[in-house]
Amino acid sequence: MGVSIHIDGARPGVTINKNIYGHFSEHLGRCIYGGIFVGKDSPIPNVNGMRTDVVEALKKLEVPVLRWPGGCFADEYHWQDGVGPQESRKRMVNTNWGGVVEDNSFGTHEFLELCRQLGCEPYINANVGSGSVREMAEWVEYLNSDGDSSVVKQRWANGQKDAWGVKYLGIGNESWGCGGNMRPEYYADEFRRFSTFCRDYGKNKLYRIACGPSDDDLRWTEVLMKQAGRHFDALTLHSYTIPSGKWKDKGEATVFDEERYYQTLERANRMEKLVTDHCAIIDRVERELAKREGEKVHRVDLIVDEWGCWHEVEKGTNPGFLYQQNTMRDAMVAALTLNIFNRHADRVVMANIAQMVNVLQSVILTEGDDMLLTPTYHVFDLYRRHMDASLLDCAVFADSLPGSVKQVSASASLRDGEITLTAANLHMTDAVDVDITVDGVDVKDVTARAISGDAHDMNTFEDKEKVVIRPLTAIRRTASGFTVTLPACSVAEIRVRG
């Protein structure tokens, strides 16, 4: 069977929240230190300590939102240790990640300076596991208040006059695991207590984010919704793609056979069901609460603030640094997952790939003063036009690959009178002709660009441009639309103008 895609261009749907294209940066391995932040005195070109090469590359992606400081690190992080003169900042051992010294030279001011340089929204994940209510409340005050208080004066003394107005506040991370091994009943109460004292200051209204489930832990979602659902704006979902499905034997990032390749896609595709199942619970419990209390339904959003491939670390690297290479297989996972998020844009309001630089499925890898863009970076580039665009219904008719995943994954949106279709041919070895029809638009012009290659292709410091975006010219007009030939293992951005 051939592949065909039918786009309904006449009925624009919900807006795809640009925050779906968000990132995550933790104090883990070489993500922050070395990857993003090198300090003002570094010989590596930087602005206020942030690597110029990395910041410039990220600016091209128009990063909308950045989550920090963790991850598991968040529940060990004490924000007061990371403000004030560099020489007097506390040192600690990062017990979660590699047992290395954390000198706290990257703290609140540095993170917000990074967000300023990137032009993105900050998303701060605060400490419930080993922190106090007062500590969290004062961090929010330090970030957002203009009142006459000692905490605010401390911020002024540290060189920041204006409040930053941080909106996105995560209250605990993986509280069912590294964040305190809590039961959902207990975390629900902790969430209510901590969030009560996180105040809104001035015009800034906090968007309170609760720690949601891991993968298919539906019970966590149900209990949390029932016991604290009225107190948060969103809950999170963490789901990683471990190709083998086994934490103890994840498999290498660059060495895999055909069977493992398709198994990887199959595992990544679980995101569709996870999002659907958790949102169904959120909706049902909300309706029940509203009915019982005679109130309006309070909308709770879903944020997938950790996702991506998790492989074995590269040989010879610190196992606690989670440094892995990134191939076209990872690009396929990114393409498939972002299409799922787009199609669920009515419920998924943010997603944060783990992680931005040098950790897990990164968009950038660095080595000393050198830097490369991974295939996953290019997927984010190809999908950029979906940000804040209107979702279009996009039906894909295709056979399944070994397993249940369809050969072609796609999503479509409309922005400024132009349709963007992102389509990935997930077949490892076969190109495919895709017949595309668009309702409601008299198609005048179609252009496309894509990445493609062998599933094992990657960019290395010896060959940084093995995978780059190239124009895709195999486009033919047909009586009903047009046909695009997608090479094997490829991701394309197809722009359609009427």
Task: Tell me which residues are annotated as active site.
Answer: 174, 306
Closest distance of CB 102 from ligand AHR, Å: 14
Q: What is the 3-state secondary structure (H, E, C) of the chain?
A: CCEEEEEECCCCCCECCHHHHEEECCCCCCCCECCCECCCCCCCCEECCEEHHHHHHHHHCCCCEEEECCCHHHHHCCHHHHCCCHHHCCCEEECCCCCEEECCCCCHHHHHHHHHHHCCEEEEEECCCCCCHHHHHHHHHHHHCCCCCHHHHHHHHCCCCCCCCCCEEEECCCCCCCCCCCCHHHHHHHHHHHHHCCCCECCECCEEEECCCECCCHHHHHHHHHHHHHHCCEEEEEEEECCCCCHHHCCCCCCCCHHHHHHHHHHHCHHHHHHHHHHHHHHHHHHHHHHHHCCCCCCCEEEEEEEEECCCCCCCCCHHHCCCCCEHHHHHHHHHHHHHHHHCCCCEEEEEEECCECCCCCCEEEECCEEEECHHHHHHHHCHHHCCCEEEEEEEECCECCCCCECEEEEEEEECCEEEEEEEECCCCCCEEEEEEEECCCCCEEEEEEEECCCCCECCCCCCCCCCCEECCCEEECCCEEEEEECCCEEEEEEEEC
Nearer to ligand AHR, 26 or 381 (CB): 26
Q: Based on CB atoms, which residue is closest to ligand AHR, 110 or 174?
A: 174
Per CB under 6 A, residues contacting ligand AHR are 26, 70-72, 173-174, 306, 354-355, 360
Residue 140 C-beta: closest distance to ligand AHR, Å? 21
**Contact present, 13 and 391 (Cβ < 8 Å):** yes
| Nearest residue (CB) to ligand AHR, 97 versus 482 | 97
CA angle in degrees (0–180, nearest 5) for 415-452-246: 100
Of the pair 72, 309, the CB lying nearest ligand AHR is at 72
The smaller minimum CB distance to ligand AHR, of residues 21 and 201, is found at: 21
Q: How far is the CB of 302 from ligand AHR (least distance, A)?
A: 17
Q: CB of residue 436 vs ligand AHR: minimum separation in angstroms?
A: 37
With CB atoms as reference, the residue minimizing the distance to ligand AHR is: 71
Burial (CB < 10 A; 0-12, 13-18, 19+), residue 153, is exposed
C-alpha to C-alpha distance for 163 and 173, rounded to whole angstroms: 25
For residue 111 the two structure tokens come to 């993170």
CB of 111 to ligand AHR, least distance (A): 16
Q: Which is nearer to ligand AHR, 358 or 413 (CB)?
A: 358
Taking the complex as a whole, the smallest distance from the CB of residue 27 to ligand AHR amounts, in Å, to: 9
Q: How far is the CB of 392 from ligand AHR (least distance, A)?
A: 32
Residue 240 beta carbon to ligand AHR: minimum distance, rounded to whole angstroms: 7
Residue with smaller CB distance to ligand AHR, 173 or 269 = 173
493, two tokens: 């951005």
Give whole-number Cα distances, 367 to 30, 110, 154, 359, 432, in Å.
10, 22, 37, 13, 37
As measured in angstroms, the least distance from the Cβ of 82 to ligand AHR is 17
Closest CA to 386 of 412, 366, 406: 412
Residue 19 tokens read as 């925050």
Please say which residue, 324 or 327, places its beta carbon nearer to ligand AHR.
Answer: 324
Residue (355 or 411) nearer to ligand AHR, CB: 355
> By C-beta, is 71 or 131 nearer to ligand AHR?
71
Cis peptide before 117 (omega within 30 of 0): no
Shortest CB 340 distance to ligand AHR, Å: 20
Cis amide prior to 487 (ω within 30 degrees): no
